[in-house]
Amino acid sequence: MPTKSASKPKNNTLKTFKVQPCRSSLKKRTKDLPTRSNLVGQNLTISIVSYNTKKLLYRCLQSIYQYTKKLKFEVIVIDNASSDGSAQMVAKEFPLVKLIRNKTNLWYTGANNQALKIAQGKYFLILNSDIFLKTNAFKKLVEYLNLHPKVGAVEPCQLYEDGRIAPTGSRHNRIWLDLVALTGLHRLIKLKTLPQDRKLTYPTEVISDGAMLIRTDLFKKISGYDERFRLYYTENDLCQRIQAKKFTTIHCGAARIWHTVSASTNKAGWKTISNIYAHDALVYYLKYGSPTSAWLLFLALK
C-alpha cells in the first residue's frame, strides 16, 4: 500500500537568517526568524498538508528554513483539523508561514488545492509533513526544471531515517498487477522494473507526491488534484494528466530528502485506511481502466 501522511512584501530584498538545529522538544521558540516574507518574484511555493503531525511538522519546517538557500520561497501549511496543536505551533513558532486552518479534514487532495489557489511561486512543491532536509535539495529541483522546459514535474531521491533509499519512481499501476499483489504472487514473478540505482536521474512514469515539484502554471492547467481521491493513487493520477499535456516526469537522484513513513496514516485505524485505499483504487481504475476490473479490485480490497 502506498504511503502519504503572509503578508505582502514592502520590498524585493530576500532576507537571510539562521535557524537553530532541529529539536524534538517544542518548548523553545525558534530564534532569528524574520517577521514577514518576501513574495515578489519568488521561485517556489512549498505546500505542506498536516494532520496530527505536530513534532514532525516542526522538524520539517525547521529544516526547510535551515537548508533552503538562494531561493525565494513561501511556505503554506494546510492543517486538516488536527487535534494535537499543530496549527497553534505553526502560528507561534513560524511567523513566515501562511497557515490555513481547516475545520474538517479535506484530505491530501483538497488541502493542496487550497494552497494552489493562493500560490505565488513559479514552481509548486507538494511536500509531506514527515519530510525533512539535510541539504539544499529544493534548489537542485528548481534548477532542474529551469534547465528542462519539457519536464513538468520532478521528484527527489527519498531516504528513510535508517539510510535506506525509498522505492519511489515507478510505472503506472496496472490493475492486473494490483490484483496479483493481493495474492502475494507478485513476489514470485520477475517483472521488468525501473532502474534500481535511485542515485541516478531518469524519466519515470510515476513520481511520488510526497515530495513533487511541479510547474505552477501546469498544475493549474490540469486543475490541480482530482478531489475524488483522498490519499492514494493521487500521484498516479497527477502524472497521467501531466503526461497527457506532453510533459515528462523525472526522478532526480542528485536531490535528496529524508522521510518518516506514514506519519499521518499511522494516526488512523487500519480499517479506515483500508477503506480509503479501496475507495481511491476504485476511483482510479474507473477513470483509467474498465468498470468491471475496477469493481473486481474494489471488492477484493474490501
Look at residue 29 and tell me if it is in a domain.
no
Exposure of 100 in the CB half-sphere (CA atoms within 13 A): 24
Look at residue 14 and tell me if it is in a domain.
no
Look at residue 60 and tell me if it is in a domain.
yes
Q: Which amino acid is at 193?
A: T
Give pTM, 2 decimals: 0.81
Look at residue 204 and tell me if it is in a domain.
yes
The Cα–Cα gap between 77 and 96 comes to: 11
* Pairing, β 123-128 against β 211-215: antiparallel
The set of cell numbers assigned to 49 is 498538508
CA distances to 144, 217, 249, 275, 301 from 184, rounded to whole Å, are 38, 41, 29, 20, 13
> Which positions ≥6 away from 130 have C-beta within 8 Å?
5, 53, 56, 60, 259, 260, 261, 262, 263, 264
Look at residue 184 and tell me if it is in a domain.
no
Alpha helices in 124-233 (DSSP H): 137-147, 175-183, 216-221
Domain count for the chain, please give it.
1
At which residue does the C-alpha cell 514527515 appear?
A: 130
The set of cell numbers assigned to 122 is 513559479
Look at residue 286 and tell me if it is in a domain.
no
Q: Where are the beta strands (DSSP E) in 103-243?
A: 123-128, 131-132, 151-160, 202-203, 211-215
Instruction: For the chain, 302 residues long, give each residue's pLDDT as a single digit of tens.
Output: 444 553 333 333 333 333 333 333 344 444 444 333 444 456 999 999 999 999 999 999 999 999 999 999 999 999 999 999 999 999 999 999 999 999 999 999 999 999 999 999 999 999 999 999 999 999 999 999 999 999 999 999 999 999 999 989 888 766 656 665 555 544 445 554 555 688 999 999 999 999 999 999 999 999 999 999 999 999 999 999 999 999 999 999 999 999 997 655 555 567 788 889 888 988 999 899 877 777 776 677 66
Q: Which domain holds residue 112?
A: 44-175+192-262
The Cα–Cα gap between 109 and 274 comes to: 18
CATH number for the domain spanning 241: value is 3.90.550.10
